[in-house]
Amino acid sequence: MPVQLTLCRRCTRNRPEFRRTLAQLANNYPHDLAVEELECMAACDDVPAIMIETDYYPRVPPTELIRLVEARIIAERV
């Protein structure tokens, strides 16, 4: 099963570095990562916030996005 990453499209559309990082992750892990982009994920005060499966992470910079997603993918493979 791919790791589910959920984020808000509206809150991230003007964050080009975040969007580039997201595209890079999707490209690097096409079978291990499923990205769901919502119009609002009720995290407007924590931009950019993400959810990995049911875990919530507020104010995630691109480097942290990579670290969190890769750590979860590795953990799921074990």
Residue 27 host element (H or E): helix 16-28
Query: What's the closest the beta carbon of residue 76 comes to ligand FES, in angstroms?
Result: 25
Query: What's the closest the beta carbon of residue 14 comes to ligand FES, in angstroms?
Result: 11
Binding site for ligand FES (CB under 6 A): 8, 10-11, 40-41, 43-44
Return the beta strands (E) in the chain as ranges. Answer: 3-8, 33-38, 50-52, 55-57
Closer CB to ligand FES, 1 or 42, in the complex: 42
The CA R_g of the chain, rounded to the nearest whole Å, is 12
Closer CB to ligand FES, 27 or 54, in the complex: 54
Closer CB to ligand FES, 22 or 43, in the complex: 43
Strand partners, 38: 8
